[in-house]
Structure 1
Amino acid sequence: MHKHINKPVRFLEGTNVYLRPISLEDSKDYFEKLTNLEMRRLTGTQRSYTQEQINKYLEGKVHETSSLLFLITLRETDEVIGDIAIQDIDSFNRSANIRIAIDNAPHQGKGYGSEAMLLLLDYGFGIVNLHRIELNVFSYNERAKHVYEKLGFKVEGVQRDALYYDHEYYDSIMMSLLEDEYREKYKK
């Protein structure tokens, strides 16, 4: 008898990665990711979380309509390498916030994050009918800022000393991409 293996749902599929909805079964891995020191630094995560808090958070995400949270997964191996979300969806103004985290160094710098961003940007502009997608990046994360600029995001402003982390203050750089800018760059 063959054991039935549940294949992950490939919600948005790219060349090297696909995005799949997060589920309660992912809770333990998600919790472990939040204890990764470098990941906490790059995302400016200051609080600590318990496994129970993460369970509750994910339970809430399942029913929430103002955000879409996905796991970034390698196509070849189904290995989860990070997460990405469109949050604070405002249907009146057709705007939202996007955030991404790639878990560890071996998966960084390979274009996986850019590919995941493009998959979700296409979904945000083409399906969710957003007009504006914004993000924040901290001033010490030059690599991420460079990637966002290559994707077409424009700097809108700087929130000075917005994050206090490891005994220092850092600026938060606000960036955005508008639907016509996205279409001009990617849909010609």
Structure 2
Amino acid sequence: MDTTLWNPLPVRFLEGERVYLRPIGQDDAEGYFRMLFNPEVRRLTGTQHSFTLEGVRRYIEGKSADDSAVLLLIALSDTDEVIGDIALQDINHVNRNANVRIAIDSDNHKGKGYGPESIRLLLEYGFGVLNLHRIELQVFAYNERAIKAYEKVGFSREGVQRDALYYNHQYHDSIMMSILEDEFKALYHKQ
């Protein structure tokens, strides 16, 4: 039997130049749990809930069985260091749409293009493999870096949900953005 197939290297589900996306497993639960309590990640994502490690384990188990979502970890290609997570959620195969969310865990990894590269990888999968037509997201108005990153990848602003989030004693707007399959192809699949 060839034992090289069973080596401990992480699976690289979607691979880019500097990052790859891999499935999340129970071995990742503690790191994922810690990321959920990173104050900056919580602020940028509007996370208000408290979590338990056991709850995170159940969430990971549930997501692996959920055919309407793809939850992946973002890792650096050269070191395998996990720097965040990304998800394609609420996948609707009838209407061919879904939404995407992303979180980069550390300020050391922000502003280096890892987020846009990760999003492009997931969009390629969503449009090219899952045959989606529209992928949307919501971002809070105070997260200007993320808005610029989404626009860089090709998302367009569609509207604003005024005062959609109450966080840290203030209301904040939520910006709705989307990208369509043909827009993505025009940007990344030029003939």
- Aligned letter for 1:63? A
What is the match of residue 69 of structure 1?
71
1:106 maps onto 2:108 in alignment: yes
Q: Deviations over 1:160-180 (max 9, x none)?
A: 000000000000000000000
8 Å Cα contact 2:70-2:88 kept in structure 1: yes
- Among 7, 10, 24, which residue is 1:8 paired with? 10
Q: Deviations over 1:135-170 (max 9, x none)?
A: 000010011001111111111110000000000000
What is the match of residue 41 of structure 1?
43
- Per mean C-alpha deviation after superposition, the further-off stretch among 38-47 and 5-14 is 5-14
- Aligned letter for 2:159? G
Other structure's SS at 2:32 match: helix
1:74-89 equivalent positions in 2, closer than 5 A? 74-89=76-91
Q: Deviations over 1:102-151 (max 9, x none)?
A: 11100000001111000000000000000000000001001100111111
Q: Equivalents in 2 of 1:88, 1:11: separation in Å?
A: 20
* CA positional deviation for 1:84: 0.3
Identity of aligned residues (%): 63
Q: Equivalents in 2 of 1:66, 1:107: separation in Å?
A: 29
What is the match of residue 163 of structure 2?
161
Count of residues in Structure 1 that have an aligned counterpart in Structure 2 = 185
- Among 68, 86, 90, which residue is 2:92 paired with? 90
- Among 130, 134, 137, which residue is 2:136 paired with? 134
- Among 176, 180, 186, which residue is 1:184 paired with? 186
- Aligned letter for 2:18? N
Q: Equivalents in 1 of 2:168, 2:104: separation in Å?
A: 21
Q: Equivalents in 1 of 2:185, 2:117: separation in Å?
A: 16
Structure 2 unpaired stretches of 5+: 1-5
What is the match of residue 151 of structure 2?
149
Other structure's SS at 2:29 match: helix
- Among 117, 120, 132, which residue is 1:118 paired with? 120
Superposition TM-score, scaled by structure 2 size:
0.95
Superposition TM-score, scaled by structure 1 size:
0.97
Q: CA RMSD in A?
A: 0.8
Other structure's SS at 1:6 match: coil
8 Å Cα contact 2:116-2:152 kept in structure 1: no
Other structure's SS at 2:89 match: strand
Structure 1 unpaired stretches of 5+: none
Other structure's SS at 1:8 match: coil
Give the ranges of 4+ consecutive aligned residues of structure 1 lying more than 4 Å apart after TM superposition: none
Other structure's SS at 1:93 match: coil
